[in-house]
Amino acid sequence: MPRRSPRKLRAGAPGSPRDAVSTLLVSACPGPPACTAVHTYLFVDGLDVITRSDSRMAGLAPGLLLRPGGPLHPTDAPRTVDVAAEEGPDPGPDRLTVRVGLRGETVVWSGLMYPGADSTVVEEVRFRLDQYLGEIERARTALPAPP
């Protein structure tokens, strides 16, 4: 059997999970009385990324994460974004971060470490830019107006 170059092995074969495109769904908790504060849920391919990454965490306020030009909006230069903090009356010092970047028409989240649906560790996910931005805008406009 012919050997494959290390570069091709790292990149994965076409159709491999590394090439797969994921779907983002954003939701927000309504806050009291259901929860102590309003927080964001981030679902990737139907899995709650925050809870699966660290069950002690709750998503940051949707107004912070979803605002136009906010931390979840991709830029050409990847950046590390806080998406969750320890639950409690006051957010704890631990944070859950995601590296958000843009490669062409693909939004890339890297620096992840959560169990996927098949129990393998998910380290990176990719989204189609139009679906990703559309979902952030949909979730932002669904938020109730501040009092």
Distances (CA, A) of 26 to 39, 41, 144: 11, 6, 15
Any idea what the Cα angle at residue 117 is, between residues 115 and 119, rounded to 5°?
Answer: 45
Task: Give this prediction's pTM.
Answer: 0.79
**Separation of alpha carbons 19 and 24, rounded Å:** 16
Q: What is the pLDDT of residues 75-128, one digit of tens each?
A: 989 999 999 988 765 555 688 999 999 999 999 999 999 999 999 999 999 999
Q: Is residue 8 scored above 50 in pLDDT?
A: no
Model confidence at 22: pLDDT above 90: yes
The torsion angles phi and psi of 59, rounded to 5 degrees, stand at -60, 150
Q: Provide the 3-class DSSP secondary structure of residue 50.
A: helix
| The pLDDT of residue 67 is above 70 | yes
H-assigned helices in 45-144: 49-53, 62-65, 129-142
Gap between the Cα atoms of 59 and 84, Å rounded: 4
CB-based contacts of 25, cutoff 8 Å, min separation 6 = 42, 43, 44, 46, 135
32 vs 79: which has the higher pLDDT? 79
Do residues 78 and 98 lie in contact, with contact meaning Cβ atoms separated by under 8 Å?
no
